[in-house]
Amino acid sequence: MVRQGVGVLVAVVVLAGCGGGGSSDEEKVAAVAKDFQSAANRHDGRALCHEVLHPNTVRAIERLAQAQVRAGGSPRTCEEQYRISRARVTPLDGRAAKPDEVTIKGDIAYVPDGEGGSKRALARRVDGEWKVDFTADPGLRWLMRSSLACSRWQDALQAMPLPTASREGIIAHLHAEADALASFLSGIDADAGQGEEQGAVREFTASLDRMTAELEGAAASLRRGRSLQRTTDKARKVLNEEGARLVRLIDVSRVDCGRIPAFAPDGAEFRRKANAVCAPISKRIGGLGDPGSSPRAAVRFLRRAGALERQASRRLAALTPPSDLDRVYRETLATVNGLGATLQAEGAAAARGDLAGARRAVGRLVLLDYRKSAGFARLGLASCWQL
């Protein structure tokens, strides 16, 4: 597959074409394949969007383009999207599609895909004309539908507030994340493709299904009064494993998730600096030893850990994140500050023998820790999760 510059404008079949001017359907399909090849290589978005592509494909491109526009951006036409993306267009390699290689089945035309004599859908008839239609091909339809669903999932995550530092807030957040994943899952065609391709699609949807089930299961456990620490630790372990699998599958299947803010190129320098701040401080917190070996040791641990949390927050506050991450970043830093203050409060309560006060602080620490981790995960700052 060759990724074209209109989001998922991908040519599974790469054609140089011949046979223009013929009157048979097979000759017309070969001619439109040639037109597609020529317009793509000229970066001619007007010809592609208004003359060569089927209306189904144009609508699919525009839906995806709009889903990938940053908040507040204006809608993009197919031609505008192609013009914006044209710098990334890769010229198509040529393979002749002769009229006698074209197979017509109803209103769909199939041509060789260059792999063992198999054929893939290229064009669809509309009002007596043949137009290139990516939605006629199961593999391309999968890419377009899953890319649209993934972009909408990312939008939902970015709009989602961080959980409030309460059991009910965390339960609501788990449900909201599960709902967003379920919408992603419902927007994909799980039966797309054939053979190995279909296997990859099914693995992708199975991973989404497991993540959704884990989120709902964790919310149900908390609702039943189960331990917040144990429940969220288990959920994070499963979600981290499935998340890594999902990122790999997105890369392998070349799903276009649009601009994922936490992993976008324009945020790379910010993430590098933030992770560089977090990594040594997380290591120092991890090296503080056993906080419960004695009351004096516990107090010393809590005071040192609180000071390190506040140090991290001060240093991170000096960095400037990409604008679309600023809100989540500031909320996350405020939560880290809250963690530091709560650690200090726990240490003070333990020092004066106030066990009830220390227990209240411990309960709040677990809630703040979940909120902090959710924020850093949203930001793509892996080294900061351990603060």
List, as one string, the DSSP characters of 351-385: HTT-HHHHHHHHHHHHHHHHHHHHHHHHHT-GGGT
Do 218 and 307 belong together in one domain?
no
Task: Provide the pLDDT for residue 177.
Answer: 93
Residues 6 and 132 in one domain: yes
- CA 256 – CA 66 distance, rounded (Å): 13
Question: Where a domain ends, among 82, 116, 136?
Answer: 136
Domain boundary among 121, 136, 151: 136
Q: Are residues 67 and 132 in the same domain?
A: yes
The predicted structure's pLDDT at residue 335: 92
Residue 323 and residue 307 share a domain = yes
CATH label of the domain that carries residue 38: 3.10.450
Using the 3D structure, point to which of 136, 164, 198 is the last residue of a domain.
136
Q: Do 119 and 154 belong to one domain?
A: no
**Statement to judge: residues 131 and 8 lie in one domain:** yes
Q: Verify that 148 and 216 share a domain, yes or no.
A: yes
- Do 325 and 262 meet the contact criterion of CB atoms below 8 Å apart? yes
Residue 101's domain comprises: 2-136
Q: Are 56 and 42 in contact (CB under 8 A)?
A: no
Do 249 and 374 share a structural domain?
no
Does residue 148 share a domain with residue 124?
no
Distance CA 53, CA 347 (A): 67
Asked if 83 and 72 count as a contact pair (C-beta separation under 8 A), the reply is no
- For the chain, what is the domain count? 3
Residues 152 and 46 in one domain: no
Whether residues 67 and 89 fall in one domain: yes
Kindly give the confidence (pLDDT) of every residue in the chain, 387 residues in length, as a single tens digit, with 9 standing for 90 and above: 333 333 333 333 222 223 334 469 999 999 998 898 888 888 888 999 999 999 999 998 888 887 766 555 666 788 887 776 654 444 444 444 678 888 999 999 998 876 666 788 889 999 999 999 988 888 788 888 888 888 888 888 888 899 999 999 999 999 999 999 999 888 886 555 554 556 777 888 888 999 999 999 999 999 999 999 899 889 888 887 888 788 777 777 667 776 677 777 778 899 999 999 999 998 998 888 766 656 777 788 888 888 888 899 999 999 999 888 899 999 999 999 888 888 888 888 888 888 888 888 888 888 998 999 889 988 888 888 777
Q: Kindly state whether residues 128 and 9 are assigned to the same domain.
A: yes
